[in-house]
Structure 1
Amino acid sequence: MSAYQTEFLQLALANDVLKFGQFTLKSGRQSPYFFNLGKISSGASMLTLSRAYAQALAASGIEYDMLFGPAYKGIPLVTAIACALAEGGRDVPYAYNRKEAKDHGEGGTLVGAPPKGRVVIVDDVLTAGTALRQAVQLIRDAGAEPVAAVIALDRQEKGPSGLSAVQEMERDANIRVVPLVTVQTMLAYLSGGAADDATLAAIRAYQAQYGVSA
């Protein structure tokens, strides 16, 4: 496990991003864990998070020219990640979109650097993938090339098609999806003493029922 993955999971537990219990998901499934990156709400926490994203992007080996953050959660993320990359010596432009088009001033839905070249999208968790698909289309419509998306967690969970949300996105949008951690990474970390045996057993049972092959 990489150092940035360990630091990210420590951050997730310390900030209640990752919680255990019984949670009803949008799909109706009863999950033994819940992940909410919106719990990151301080400067220090966002700095740690953005550094993890930057390191995951560097480790992926993906070649890119700029970043894009889908509204709304992607907006603070893309800003912070661009700062973390600059801190590491790489200054890249970034952009994001508005949910509603602006009808005055400069107008339009895109804010920031004009999309061009190879673009990496940054977001939190891929569920239905609606925001990411919209981002892919926005980038292509602007004449740029979306090459990848970096997300916090891959739940590795089957959808109606039998594929995970990540697998569907890679197939449909023809981009690579890079998670900071997967459920299997999470389980490996939790098995080191960060969760009790009952929690570990519940997550493993849930993945056995709903998970896809890693």
Structure 2
Amino acid sequence: MDWKKEFIDFSFKKQALKFGAFTLKSGRKSPYFFNSGLLSTGKDIIKIGVFYAHSIIESKIKFDMLFGAAYKGIPIVVATSIALKNYYNLNISYSFNRKEQKNYGEKGDLIGKNIQNKKIIILDDVITSGTAIRHSIDIIERKGAHISSIFVLLDRKEKGKRNLHTINHLTNKTSYKITSIITIEDLISYLLEDKKLKKHIPGLIKYREKYGIY
């Protein structure tokens, strides 16, 4: 099954993926934009969980738990845990971080099962330069867990403190593997097959040449 094309079709129809002119958080001017927050119905999040679950199983990566990077990674990690149970009969625990530490009740900066000594897969929606992912890495390693891999819907493969298919952690000098359902190269291939959307290809190629990792 062509997961990449199916996912792009799904995202484009839901208008989560758009082509045009957009200013990113980094300040870069991008010819495309992906907003997973628009994939917000019950049907949408079930489908996303299935994409992640299939990708995780096909990767054959060993893991004990899933970790969702707040905020967008939270519904993703819940949906993926459900999909792993429904499709593969794997009853996998999950955890996610708070943006601010809680000083009452259960306290702490994590919600979910204790992650200490666990092999963790981090789930998030998009990775650009990797700043947000590094925050999750810091939390997980501080809690004494081990990172098996990082899974995202879209890897923009842009210059930052990272290499192709990996993200480097600045403190421990370790590189972590990134698995993505789609990349900017997949978007370009997709546009080549669509007469109406082909006009966006030069913009994506120019952007990749300026900011992309090869």
Query: Common fold, TM-score beyond 0.5?
Result: yes
Aligned counterparts of 1:73 and 1:100: Cα–Cα separation in 2: 15
> What is the TM-score when the length of structure 2 is the normalising length?
0.89
> What is the TM-score when the length of structure 1 is the normalising length?
0.89
Amino acid corresponding to residue 181 of structure 1 in structure 2: I
- Give secondary structure in 1 for the equivalent of 2:125: coil
Q: Work out whether residues 166 and 177 of structure 2, in 8 Å CA contact, stay in contact via their aligned partners in 1.
A: no
Aligned counterparts of 2:7 and 2:124: Cα–Cα separation in 1: 15
The 3 A distance-change label for structure 1 pair 202 and 128 is: closer
Amino acid corresponding to residue 149 of structure 2 in structure 1: A
Pick which of 71-80 and 126-135 moved more.
126-135
Residue 30 of structure 1: how far off its partner (Å): 2.1
Higher helix share: 1
Unaligned runs of 5+ in 2: none
TM alignment of 1:9-48, pairs within 5 A: 9-48=8-47
Residue 198 of structure 1: how far off its partner (Å): 1.2
Amino acid corresponding to residue 92 of structure 1 in structure 2: I
Q: Work out whether residues 167 and 175 of structure 2, in 8 Å CA contact, stay in contact via their aligned partners in 1.
A: no
Q: Work out whether residues 97 and 109 of structure 2, in 8 Å CA contact, stay in contact via their aligned partners in 1.
A: yes
Aligned counterparts of 1:177 and 1:93: Cα–Cα separation in 2: 21
The 3 A distance-change label for structure 1 pair 94 and 22 is: same
> Deviation per CA, 1:46-79, whole angstroms, max 9, x where unpaired?
1111111111112222111110012111111100
Q: Work out whether residues 67 and 121 of structure 1, in 8 Å CA contact, stay in contact via their aligned partners in 2.
A: yes
Report how many residues are paired.
210
Aligned counterparts of 2:27 and 2:80: Cα–Cα separation in 1: 33
Amino acid corresponding to residue 134 of structure 1 in structure 2: H
Name the counterpart of 2:148.
147
- Give secondary structure in 2 for the equivalent of 1:71: coil
Name the counterpart of 2:104.
104
Aligned counterparts of 2:18 and 2:55: Cα–Cα separation in 1: 23
Aligned counterparts of 2:26 and 2:108: Cα–Cα separation in 1: 34
The 3 A distance-change label for structure 1 pair 45 and 209 is: same
Aligned counterparts of 1:194 and 1:79: Cα–Cα separation in 2: 37
Name the counterpart of 1:211.
212
Residue 197 of structure 1: how far off its partner (Å): 2.2
TM alignment of 1:135-174, pairs within 5 A: 135-159=136-160, 167-169=166-168, 172-174=173-175
Higher strand share: 2
Amino acid corresponding to residue 42 of structure 1 in structure 2: T
The 3 A distance-change label for structure 1 pair 65 and 75 is: same
> Deviation per CA, 1:144-194, whole angstroms, max 9, x where unpaired?
1112110111112223x6x55864447854221111111111222222227
Q: Work out whether residues 167 and 178 of structure 2, in 8 Å CA contact, stay in contact via their aligned partners in 1.
A: no
Aligned counterparts of 1:124 and 1:165: Cα–Cα separation in 2: 17
Aligned counterparts of 2:169 and 2:141: Cα–Cα separation in 1: 16
Aligned counterparts of 2:177 and 2:169: Cα–Cα separation in 1: 6
> What CA RMSD, in Å, does the superposition of the two structures yield over aligned residues?
2.1
